A and B are shown apart, each in its own frame.
Chain A
């Protein structure tokens, strides 16, 4: 792309519908015979769309573009692409959370986990105790026996791995806070 500034203005004016008919004709002819000029036009078109999508054009140019290039739905999709790309890149721009913010978020996560675990454990323990009491008083049906086995398994599963994970996370939290 080695076009000079006046050519850039010419191409830009073409896209903004500012060129008289005969100059448009000459420019369009050149698009077919000069590949370098054609590529420069594609780049300028792309940048104009980009500026439009990011709200960087003057109101006048904006209207000119909407009346011209953007009348075709395929062209509008390119504007949407820039906006999607802009939003996507914003995610990368968001500053990384500080150590304090990370610790706060980890603490909230742990509290939630412990609360959930407490509710589940309370239910399983109560139901297990009810079935054990009933087993020694009246005996259990086959399905209740199966349920009792499953509850015993659940209580075992809730023990070591769960506490291991809690301990690891607490240790990390303490390290982050420099306690």
Chain B
């Protein structure tokens, strides 16, 4: 291991200790903060949110020895303050990423893309558990214009609270989304 990598590992260890003395909880917090950062950067229009999240954490890690001695309060708030600076810097370069995003339009999808997407959807849908398939079918088959009463009706049918139903649908959609990404990547390779 070279010096740079060794420093990185030491800084990461220090950061984890700073987040929580318990290593398991610290790792969970670290991953949670990283995930939140990625979402915030994405919601703020960054096309490369993961790199910005990693850049934020790298900046925090580079000052970790100093921070551990001086900073008081929730470490997440310090991380957010750094993220805000990264975000400001990123905004200066944002015009470029907007141009890239603007160039992605619905009309650019081809028949082959659609066929691949449909194939993947069939596979991913089949990979869900029978109860998840039934729930998602029921959820999307209903008239969505009256969303609230339909959601309540379906939740009653499943003997769960409407909020629980929202969480369940969200998780199933997430599973589908992850599966679709993997499937489309696989198709790209082949």
The chain A residues found within 8 Å of chain B, CB to CB, are 1-2, 14-15, 25, 28-29, 31-33, 35, 38-39, 41-43, 45-47, 50-51, 54, 56, 68-69, 71-76, 78, 80-82, 84-89, 92-93
Question: Shortest Cβ distance from A88 into chain B, in angstroms?
Answer: 5
Of chain A, the residue at the smallest CB distance from B104 is A73
**B182 interfacial by beta-carbon distance below 8 Å:** no
**Is A29 in contact with B137, judged by CB distance below 8 angstroms?**
no
**Is B141 in contact with A74, judged by CB distance below 8 angstroms?**
no
**Is B39 in contact with A42, judged by CB distance below 8 angstroms?**
yes
Residue from B46, B141, B177 within 8 A of A78 (CB atoms): B177
**Is B117 in contact with A84, judged by CB distance below 8 angstroms?**
yes
Of chain A, the residue at the smallest CB distance from B105 is A76
User: Which residues of B144-190 are within 8 A (CB) of A?
Assistant: 144-145, 147, 163-164, 166-167, 170, 173-174, 176-177, 180
User: Which residues of B112-168 are within 8 A (CB) of A?
Assistant: 117-118, 121-122, 125, 136-137, 140-141, 144-145, 147, 163-164, 166-167
Question: Shortest Cβ distance from A38 into chain B, in angstroms?
Answer: 6
**Is A89 in contact with B147, judged by CB distance below 8 angstroms?**
no
**Is A72 in contact with B79, judged by CB distance below 8 angstroms?**
no
**Is A69 in contact with B43, judged by CB distance below 8 angstroms?**
yes
CA distance A2 to B162 in the complex (A): 11
B72-86 interface code vs A (CB 8 A; 1 in, 0 out) = 001011011001100
**Is B167 in contact with A15, judged by CB distance below 8 angstroms?**
no
When A56-B147, A84-B118, A89-B141 are in contact, do A31 and B40 touch as well, CB less than 8 Å?
yes
When A54-B144, A88-B121 are in contact, do A32 and B101 touch as well, CB less than 8 Å?
no
**Is B144 in contact with A71, judged by CB distance below 8 angstroms?**
no
Of chain A, the residue at the smallest CB distance from B94 is A71
Residue from B80, B97, B164, B173 within 8 A of A32 (CB atoms): B80
Question: Chain B interface mostly helix, strand, loop or mixed?
Answer: helix
CA distance A153 to B127 in the complex (A): 46
When A71-B101, A84-B117, A88-B122 are in contact, do A33 and B43 touch as well, CB less than 8 Å?
no
20 A-B pairs besides A31-B39, A46-B170 with CB distance below 8 A are: A32-B40, A32-B77, A32-B80, A38-B36, A43-B167, A47-B170, A71-B102, A72-B47, A76-B104, A78-B177, A81-B176, A82-B173, A84-B118, A84-B121, A86-B140, A88-B118, A88-B125, A89-B140, A89-B141, A92-B137
CA distance A47 to B137 in the complex (A): 16
CA distance A41 to B173 in the complex (A): 15
**B90 interfacial by beta-carbon distance below 8 Å:** no
Contacts of B176 in A (CB 8 A): 81, 85
Question: Shortest Cβ distance from A42 into chain B, in angstroms?
Answer: 7
**Is B170 in contact with A43, judged by CB distance below 8 angstroms?**
yes
Contacts of B49 in A (CB 8 A): 72
When A29-B80, A32-B37, A43-B166 are in contact, do A72 and B117 touch as well, CB less than 8 Å?
no
Contacts of B39 in A (CB 8 A): 31, 38, 41-42
